[in-house]
Structure 1
Amino acid sequence: MYFVYIIFSPKTNKFYIGSTDSPESRLKHHNSGATPSTKSGAPFWEIKYLECLLDRSAALKRELEIKRKKSRKYLEYLISSVH
């Protein structure tokens, strides 16, 4: 089981999209400051959206699909659709 996730940092007011097989471990990694692209938002990242997919290939494909939208409005739409 793989996941596409969207995290948000209120510190930087930015979203980050990724995929993983372990969302909680990945969040800890982002919040540790070990990931250069999310270091500025650490330690305040929080998971806002999770989408479960069958395998890594499907998760990567979906991650790219979301990233290609390049729209904050779309990310907010996805997040609001799960609440």
Structure 2
Amino acid sequence: MKKANIMTPEDLDRVYLRFAHQFLEGYDDVSQLAIIGMQTRGVYMGKRILKEIKASFDADIDFGVLDVAFYRDDYRSKF
């Protein structure tokens, strides 16, 4: 089976830059904002968005990680 690329790396860069713009829209003061990445893929996405914000807007925004693995109600269920 042939694999197809849906997006190029440049396309992904544009997506993350747009996420950064949308994240900051409507805020005059970003000093109280924070990005929280949910384990596991959300951490990667959050860091990419934070990187774009720092590079494009020179804003210092806090970053945190949320791991809900042990708080899920289906933790003991078999998949």
Query: TM-score scaled by structure 1?
Result: 0.25
Which one has the largest radius of gyration? 2
Q: TM-score when scaled to structure 2?
A: 0.26
Answer 1 or 2: which has greater strand percent.
1
